[in-house]
Structure 1
Amino acid sequence: MKYTQLPNTQIEVSKICLGTMTFGRQNTETEGHAQIDYALDQGINFIDTAEMYPVPAHEPTYGHTEIIIGNWLKKTGKRSEIVLASKIAGANRGLAFIREDLGFNAQTIRESLDKSLSRLQTDYIDLYQLHWPERKVNFFGQRAFKAEDDAWEDNIQSVLEALSGLIREGKIRTIGLSNETPWGVMRFLEESKKHDLPKITTIQNPYSLVNRTFEMTLHEIAYREKVGLLAYSPLAFGLLSGKYNVETQDPNARLNLFPNFARYNSQSTREASKMYQQIASDHGLSVTQMALAFVQQQSFVTSTIIGATSMAQLEENIGSQNMELSDSIVREIEKVQNRFPDPAP
Structure 2
Amino acid sequence: MKYTTIPQTDIKVSKICLGTMTYGQQNTEEEAHEQLNYAIDQGVNFIDTAEMYSIPGRKETQGSTERYIGTWLKDQKRDSLVVATKVTGPMPYFNYIRPNLGFSKEVIREALDLSLKRLQTDYVDIYQLHWPERNVNFFGQRNYNHNPNEQWKDNFKSVIQTLDELVKEGKIRHYGVSNESSWGVMRQVAESKQNGLTVCKTIQNPYSLLNRTFEINLAEVSLRENIGLLAYSPLAFGVLSGKYLNNKMPENSRLKLFPAYSRYSNPQALKLTALYAELAKKHNLSLAELSLAFVNQRPFVTGNIIGATTMDQLKENIGSIKVNLSKEILDEIDTIQNLQPNPAP
TM-score (normalised: structure 1): 0.98
Show the counterpart of 2:189.
189
1:208-267 Cα distance to aligned partner (Å, 9 max, x none): 000000011201111110100000100000000000014553121112211112311211
Unaligned ranges ≥5, structure 2: none
* Displacement of 1:143: 1.2
Residue in 2 aligned with 1:47? 47
Structure 1 Cα separation of the partners of residues 230 and 119 of structure 2: 21
Is 2:249–2:255's contact at 8 Å kept on the other side of the alignment?
Answer: no
* C-alpha contact (below 8 Å) 1:141/1:262 kept by paired residues: no
Equivalent in the alignment of 1:107: 106
Partner of 2:137: 138
Secondary structure at the aligned position of 2:221 is classed as helix
Measured in 1, the distance between the counterparts of 2:143 and 2:47 equals: 32
How far does the alpha carbon of each residue in 1:80-118 deviate from its partner, in whole angstroms, 9 at most, with x for none? 221000000101251101111112111000000000000
* 1:299 equivalent in structure 2: 299
Query: 2:239: which partner in 1?
Result: 239
Counterparts of residues 133-282 of structure 1 (less than 5 Å): 133-148=132-147, 149-246=149-246, 248-282=248-282
Distance 2:89 2:135 in 1: 10
Give the unaligned 5+ runs of structure 1: none
What CA distance in whole angstroms lies between the structure 1 residues aligned with 2:250 and 2:290? Answer: 22
Q: % of aligned pairs identical?
A: 56
Please identify runs of 4+ aligned residues in structure 1 that moved more than 6 A. Answer: none
CA RMSD of aligned residues (A): 1.0
Counterpart contact for 1:48–1:86, Cα < 8 Å: yes
1:94 aligns with 2:93: yes
Q: Relative to 1, partners in 2 of residues 1:93 and 1:226: Cα closer, same or farther, differing over 3 Å?
A: farther
Q: Aligned-pair distance for 1:273?
A: 0.6
1:49-128 equivalences in 2 (<5 Å): 49-74=49-74, 76-92=75-91, 94-128=93-127
Instruction: Tell me the number of residue pairs that the alignment of Structure 1 and Structure 2 aligns.
Output: 344
Distance 1:283 1:41 in 2: 29
Structure 2 contact 275–336 (Cα < 8 Å) conserved: yes
Residue equivalent to 2:20? 20
Q: Distance in 2 between matches of 1:62 and 1:278?
A: 39
1:306-338 deviation line (CA, Å, top 9, x unaligned): 000000000000111021111221121111100
**Deviations along 1:15-45, whole A, 9 cap, x unmatched?**
1000000000100000000000000000000
| Counterpart AA for 1:134 | E
Give, as a single letter, the amino acid of the residue that structure 2 aligns with 1:277: A
